[in-house]
Amino acid sequence: MEPIQQHTGKVYPLNRANVDTDQIIPKQFLKRIERQGFGQFLFYNWRYYEDGTAKEDFSLNEEKYQDATILVAGENFGCGSSREHAPWALEDFGFRVIIAPSFADIFYNNCVKNGILPVTLSEEQTQELMNRAEAEDYPLTVNLEEQTVSDEYDFHAHFDIDNYSKEMLINGWDEIAVTLTKQDKIDEYEKQTLGV
């Protein structure tokens, strides 16, 4: 996966809480056996009518957000189904960073495995970011090394992230390769418990 140390990009504000993975990528698109190409189906039922025409009242369809790379949303983002198609769709659409007051556990892990940085800020801070992004074209810089989020004006926030996720994201490591360096430990565990 692509490493991410620092990222500057335009914010797309999605002022909704409990956005579930059924909304991020509806089930009719889970039948594909590929990992790529899910961006076109991102938020499909919110973005399109059943005949495929765009819904004008859904903000992600606005021209100004087409090159957004940072998604800011409400609490409990990514709840529900474990489908990794959700981060695949977000990443394929162009999002590299998601900022929310809280994330669902499985979705959070799925993001980290795909080089998407989930940033947890307070409710007030995310609301402030959404307000600013709704008012104008709003670029934001997220620095993972420093664990900071800042804009060109006065917004500056620090965020917490566990060391392991941080290291994986910064280096873009293949986690399986990392684990296989502990193969002797797995062998030993299996010898003791399974007798093999």
Q: Rule CB under 8 A: which residues touch another protein?
A: 15-18, 20, 22-23, 26-28, 30-35, 45, 50, 74-76, 79-84, 87, 102, 104-106, 109-110, 113-114, 162-164, 174-176, 179-180, 182-183, 185-186, 189-190, 193
Alpha carbon distance 66, 108 (integer Å): 24
Nearer to another protein among residue 56 and residue 162 (C-beta) = 162
Q: Rounded to the nearest 5°, which phi and psi values hold at 184?
A: -60, -35
Angle between helices 105-113 and 85-93 (to 10 degrees): 50
Residue whose structure tokens are 């949303």:
73
**Residues belonging to the chain:** 196
What string of DSSP letters covers 74-117? Answer: -SSBTBS---THHHHHHHHHT--EEEES-B-HHHHHHHHHTT-E
Nearer to another protein among residue 20 and residue 128 (C-beta) = 20
Output the smallest distance, CB 147 to another protein, in A.
15
Output the smallest distance, CB 67 to another protein, in A.
27
Nearer to another protein among residue 62 and residue 189 (C-beta) = 189
Nearer to another protein among residue 152 and residue 190 (C-beta) = 190
Inter-residue contact 48 to 55 (CB < 8 Å): yes
Output the smallest distance, CB 188 to another protein, in A.
8
Output the smallest distance, CB 40 to another protein, in A.
15
Nearer to another protein among residue 67 and residue 175 (C-beta) = 175
Of 119, 19, 117, which Cα lies nearest the Cα of 74?
Answer: 19
Output the smallest distance, CB 48 to another protein, in A.
10
